[in-house]
Amino acid sequence: MVELLTNDNFEQATSEGVVLIDMFASWCGPCKMVAPLLDELSNEIKYAKIVKVDVDASPELGAQFQVRSIPTFILMKDGEMIEKIVGANMTKEFYSKLIESAK
């Protein structure tokens, strides 16, 4: 299951290793469509974390990463953003390759 991050646990959860962050909102259709793919990947990929941030519940985090459209995916390594992708891609392979690029 993909962990939901908030302002309180964000820094600790993203400070080490490879982390893919799904910036989403509960009302977003494309966000809901990609969620099952991310859940599958979170169970399959053990060298990285896949997490979610509800931009409505944690607007400060959305602002920090200049999220203007959702879903937005932030790829981080050891607390540093290395890539930002706006929009949902509906293939598990896309997200798998994205995460692998940060190894």
Of 28, 37, 48, 75, catalytic: 28
Residue showing tokens 């896949």 = 50
Of 23, 31, 34, 70, catalytic: 31
CB 24, CB 70: distance < 8 Å: yes
Whether residue 53 lies in the annotated active site: no
User: In terms of C-beta density within 10 A (0-12 exposed, 13-18 middle, 19 or more buried), how is residue 30 classed?
Assistant: middle
CB 14, CB 74: distance < 8 Å: no
Q: Torsion-angle region of residue 21: left (phi > 0), alpha (psi -120 to 50) or beta?
A: beta
Whether residue 21 lies in the annotated active site: no
Active site residues: 28, 31
